[in-house]
Structure 1
Amino acid sequence: MTVDQGIVFAVLAATLAMFIWGRLRFDVVAMLALLVVAVIGLVPPDEVFAGFGHPAVVTVAGVLVVSQGLVNAGVVDSIARFIGRVGTHPMIQVVTLTGVVALCSGFMNNTGALALLMPVAVWLSRKGGHSPSLLLMPLAFGSLLGGTMTLIGTPPNIIISSYREETGAEAFGLFDYLPVGLAIALVGTAFIALLGWRLTPQRKEPSDEEELFPVGDYITEVQVPEKSSSVGNTLHSLLEKVEEDADVVVLGLIRDDRRELAPSTYKVLRPGDILLVEADTDSLQYLLDVANLSLPDGVGEEGEVEEDELEDEKGGRKKRRRDNGDVNLLEVIVSADSPLIGQTANRLSLRVRYGINVVAVARQGQRIKKRIANIRFNAGDILLVQGRQDTLHESLSDLGCLPLAERGLRIGSPRRTLLAAGIFIVAIGALMLGVVQAATALVGAAVAMVVVGLLNPSEAYRSIDWSVIVLLGAMIPVGEALETTGGANLIADQMMAIGGTLAPAPLLIMLMVVTMLLSNVVNNAAAAILLAPIAISLSQQLAMSADALLMTVAIGASCAFLTPIGHQSNALVMEPGGYRFGDYWRLGLPLSALVVATAVPMILWVWN
């Protein structure tokens, strides 16, 4: 082993250890690794940041923007509404949800597809009278299986495609992954639907009286503005306006800091009255619009924020402020590392500092029936938040909140849906015909969606997961350092010593299992970057097709079913499903074995 190889191995070992440790974000760890190899001189100075212009990085960014455009146009919402018509039997629900999310994940960001279908899954579980945990883990695993089917389904596929060019062959095409990916998606979905869902834990048995978890009713405060048409009218007349098109129950009235529970329907409303109402998100929006009510903190109708008085942090003089802009309601989940945990909305001054109102809170499937301002947030809480469209997603990112779905507020018109689908189909067609490369086709589609108004430029930038972009841009040169120093060949030699006498099938099984294990503890893109050079070195020493080994790494990197930290989709369902860290292997281990047993013969048949 040379000195340079020893340094590369030490950097990679430290990087993997810090990935697993998790105290620093993976993109920060990747940048530290890049800076170390750059300072030592293992990467030429003019190539240190070349990874950020790598086609794989640009392609990933393009996929994320296009995915957001499809969401904005209502393409996925249309699919979600179709799912709502399936029956109540768990097996039917599982196969429908898993199949649909797998199909969507083949052509858009799989975490985004999962987040949009999560509320549907929880609603279906309640409709069927069983725990959401039966559906959410299969839904997450289905999103991973679906990502293996196409070039754009998951970042590892894009990365492996670019590494194929190093072997002298063309990059993998859009549907080159389909024979193997479709096989494991079909087999995996069938296993989950027939048997796998029974291996998921049932954390609670919801009764018919229990409230729906993320998409159900909320206890919400609404205010009667001074100029509202409801001033001077009775509660009875207010409810008459909305009773045919909304499901709203008035639980209380707060006037002059005095609470009156179950107020008389003949109570006359005054300016400044706060009504405590029970309503789902669609009914809430309808109530605000029809009855000319607002949410507390001065947010008025049609996205205008009325003048409000804000007291500065020192308790001194109050000041007035007016704000304007389109206002959205959004359901989000509080992640495990969110700064909200243990804090209240009042203490964090969410309205003043972030422009966000917390409208309602649900915890472990139950609505919290307390004044919202006094609720201390926990990891996994589902919040219904309100904020300006142009700043809401950025603020939520700062607060460590992951969007679940925008309920009834962004229903795509048929024209917008067809327009988005048309742009996407043109890009896919150009890619399939070889007219342009994947990066050019997808960036072109992203720009077209911005130009035609399916999303604005700010939204396009926010849709990009910059932590993944930084991870890829930083780790690609580090992976190249592993190759240029001969480190990849050295690892390949050791693997040859272990499995050099093995037939191709056992060798691929060994490589896929190693990749899967690594992907379960580090980001799947990082796993692909680290193992792709080793796969190429192995192919050269064995005089074996590099395609087979690269495809093995791609599948292994995308199939992280054993831990909640293996993929963001796994982490996203952990709290809503009530899962513990050790629950994932119960379904994930047999599913991983099934993937290996299905993928290896398919790879040997198609690519060897």
Structure 2
Amino acid sequence: MNWEQAVLFAIMGGVLALLLWGRWRYDVVAFGGLVLAVVLGVVERKHAFDGFGHPAVIVIALVLIVSRGLMQSGALEGLTRKLAAADLTLGMHILVMGAVGAFLSAFMNNVAALALLMPIDIQAAKRAKRSPALTLMPLSFATILGGMTTMIGTPPNIVVAQFRETALGAPYGMFDFSPVGVGVAVVGIAFIALAGWRLIPAARGRADMPKELGQIESYVMEVLVPASSPAIGRKFRELKKVAEESDVWLLALVRRGRREKRPAGADIRKGDILVIEGGPEGLEQFATALKLDLSKSRKHSALMADSLAMTEVVIPKDSRIVGRSSLDLRLLARRGVVVVGIARQGRRITGRIRQEKIRPGDLLLLMGPENGLEETVQWLGALPVERRTPTVVQRQKAWLAIGLFGLAISLAAVDLVYLPV
């Protein structure tokens, strides 16, 4: 082993150790390793960034972007919602979820497919009153198996295909991996559904999901019924079945600014506002099922941003919104952010959300442009309950996303376009 080889292995070992440590971001660690290799002369300066333009890297990056786009468009929510509501035995649930996960990961990034299905799997576990530990690991294995069935399903397949093109002049096709990959995936998922889940340690199978500090159990939210909603013409009481499937409670019907006293027999109309209560995931699922708007101020330019997000915050006593409502503070006009839910310990909110006076200790669910939401939280003097900010689904773009993705896969499969294109 010469000096350059020793240095290269040392750098790779150091990078691996830092990645396992997890103190710094992966991209920072990787780029730092590249810079160190250039400084020590292991990599020539003129070739330092050649890898960023490699077709394999481009394809992997594009698959990640497309996967994110499909998730954000809501293109797959109809399917996943049915999976969450299905009443299946444990083995059948693992088989169905595993098959769906494998199919999605064949055309998406494995991690993206898993991230999409994990909340659905957890919700189904809650309904069945069993620990999600019994199904999350099988789901993870299923997405890995599904990724092996196509060229874009997993990064190693993409890299191998590009190196084959370099060596032989022609890469692997989109489905050249399928004859072997599909067989392995079918056998693997069948084993997981029939026997594999039984090998999970019993202690983990009995474990309940821990409740995070500050976890919000329930919100009260207003949702607008737009002209495109399938709820129009249906009785208020008929919507309760949809609400139950989403673990949401229908509290009231507001029409022309007034609460209906006896809403059960009322027909839902365009412009009505439904007052609902539930957790953040259930509220979003209910709104998706009936194509409801989380905010009636849809014409505001900030809320038409390409990337909307929601975040949960707690209001301390010195916050600027204490004693005032979101209307008083003109939160939408000033910051492009709207309060879509309020949780108050020991008391159910019965008034209009945007007219409700905020008190210290209230938990708010805020919606607004993703890139400015954190700044708004700081401006309010609020404290984020959780670091995550789940992205709000842009459902009106679902069919467009499905069509474009299907067209791209079809053209690449018949070699009409170069895959990175």
TM-score (norm 1): 0.47
CA contact (8 A) 1:142 1:185 kept: yes
Question: Are the equivalent residues in 1 in contact too, given 2:67–2:108 (CA < 8 A)?
Answer: yes
Please give the secondary structure, in 1, of the residue aligned with 2:176.
Answer: coil
Higher Cα radius of gyration: 1
Query: Who is 2:296 aligned against?
Result: 301
Q: Deviations along 1:159-196, whole A, 9 cap, x unmatched? A: 23223344335322212222332233112211110122
What are structure 2's unaligned runs of at least 5 residues? 225-234, 244-248, 253-260, 263-274, 322-330, 348-357, 378-383
Who is 2:368 aligned against? 387
Query: Following TM superposition, by how much is the alpha carbon of 1:83 offset from its aligned partner in structure 2, in angstroms?
Result: 2.5
Aligned pair 1:110/2:97, yes or no? Answer: no
Alignment partner, residue 411 of structure 2: 430
What is the DSSP-based 3-state SS (H/G/I as helix, E as strand, rest coil) of the residue aligned with 1:36?
Answer: helix
Instruction: Give the Cα separation in 1 of the matches to 2:359 and 2:199.
Output: 37
1:258-289 Cα distance to aligned partner (Å, 9 max, x none): xxxxxxx89xxxxxxxxx97334059859xx9
Change (3 A) 1:353 1:45: farther
The residue number in structure 1 matching 2:239 is: 245
Deviates more, 1:9-18 or 1:384-393: 384-393
Q: Give 1:38's aligned residue.
A: 38
User: 1:202 maps to which residue?
Assistant: 205
| Distance verdict in 2 for CA 1:170–1:85, change over 3 Å | same
Q: Rate the CA distance shift 1:94–1:360 in 2: closer, same or farther, 3 A.
A: farther
> CA 1:357/1:35 → structure 2, altered by over 3 Å: closer, same or farther?
farther
Match of 2:16 in 1: 16
Distance in 1 (CA, whole Å) between partners of 2:107 and 2:51 is: 24
> Structure 2: how far apart are the matches of 1:63 and 1:204?
35
For 1:87 and 1:116, locate their aligned partners in 2 and report how far apart those are by CA, in whole Å.
Answer: 20
Q: Distance in 2 between matches of 1:360 and 1:198?
A: 42
Q: Does 1:141 align with 2:164?
A: no
- Supply the AA of the counterpart residue of 2:388: C
Q: Is this contact kept in 1: 2:15–2:33, CA < 8 A?
A: yes
CA distance in structure 2 between the aligned counterparts of 1:46 and 1:60, rounded to whole angstroms: 24
Answer yes or no: is the 8 Å Cα contact 2:309–2:389 preserved in 1.
no
Structure 1 residues without counterparts, runs of 5 or longer? 229-240, 252-264, 267-275, 295-299, 306-322, 333-339, 362-366, 377-382, 441-608
1:357 Cα deviation after fit: 6.0
Shift of 1:81: 3.6
Match of 1:486 in 2: none
Q: Tell me by how many angstroms 1:219 deviates.
A: 1.9
Moved more, 46-55 or 78-87: 78-87
Alignment map for 1:583-598 (pairs within 5 Å): none
Question: 2:63 maps to which residue?
Answer: 63
**Aligned-residue CA RMSD in angstroms?**
4.8
Aligned to 1:449: none
Distance 2:157 2:51 in 1: 17
Identity of aligned residues (%): 32
Q: Which residue identity is paired with 2:49?
A: F
Letter of the 2:304 partner, please give it.
D
Deviations 1:563-602, CA, capped at 9 Å, x for gaps: xxxxxxxxxxxxxxxxxxxxxxxxxxxxxxxxxxxxxxxx
Matching residue of 2:283: 281
**Closer, same or farther in 2 for the Cα pair 1:142/1:330, shift >3 Å?**
farther
Shift of 1:331: 7.1
| SS of 1:387 mapped into structure 2 | strand
Amino acid of the residue matched to residue 245 of structure 1?
L
SS at match of 1:437: coil
TM-score, normalisation: structure 2: 0.65
User: Once the two structures are superposed, what CA deviation does each residue of 1:403-439 show, in whole Å capped at 9, x if it has no partner?
Assistant: 4x75xx64458xx52x544433332233233333221
- Is this contact kept in 2: 1:356–1:392, CA < 8 A? no
Partners in 2 of 1:375 and 1:136 — Cα distance? Answer: 33
State the distance in 2 between where 1:284 and 1:430 align.
36
Q: Matches of residues 298-377 of structure 1 in structure 2 within 5 Å?
A: 301-303=296-298, 324-326=302-304, 346=316, 359=341, 374=361
Which whole-Å CA distance do the structure 1 matches of 2:402 and 2:276 have between them? 39
2: distance between equivalents of 1:108 and 1:118? 15
Paired residue secondary structure (2:303): coil
Residues 229-284 of structure 1 show CA distances to partners (whole Å, capped at 9, x for unaligned) of: xxxxxxxxxxxx95553553669xxxxxxxxxxxxx89xxxxxxxxx973340598
Aligned-residue offset at 1:395: 10
CA distance 1:434–1:302, shift in 2 (3 Å): same
Rounded Cα–Cα distance in structure 2 between residues aligned with 1:28 and 1:354: 33
- Asked whether the 8 Å contact 1:360–1:372 carries over to 2, the reply is no
The alpha-carbon distance between structure 1 residues 20 and 74, as it changes in their structure 2 partners (threshold 3 A), is closer
Q: What secondary structure does 2:417 align onto?
A: coil
Counterpart of 1:387 in structure 2: which amino acid?
G
1:156 aligns to what? 156
Determine which structure has greater relative contact order: mean sequence separation of CA pairs < 8 Å that are 6+ residues apart, divided by chain length: 1
Q: What is the alpha-carbon distance in structure 2 between the residues aligned to residue 168 and residue 394 of structure 1?
A: 53
- Counterpart of 2:128 in structure 1 is 128
Q: What SS does the corresponding residue of 1:38 show, helix, strand or coil?
A: helix
The aligned residue for residue 27 of structure 1 is 27
CA offsets 1:351-387 (integer angstroms, 9 cap, x no match):
99996869479xxxxx9879997489xxxxxx96522
Task: Say if 1:402 and 1:195 are closer, same or farther in 2 by CA, change over 3 A.
Answer: farther
Counterpart residue type for residue 401 of structure 1: R
- Cross-structure match for 2:218: 219
Do the aligned residues in 2 keep the contact of 1:60 with 1:155 (CA within 8 Å)?
A: yes
For the residues of structure 1 that align with 2:309 and 2:187, how far apart are their CA atoms? 35
Q: 1:154 Cα deviation (Å)?
A: 2.0
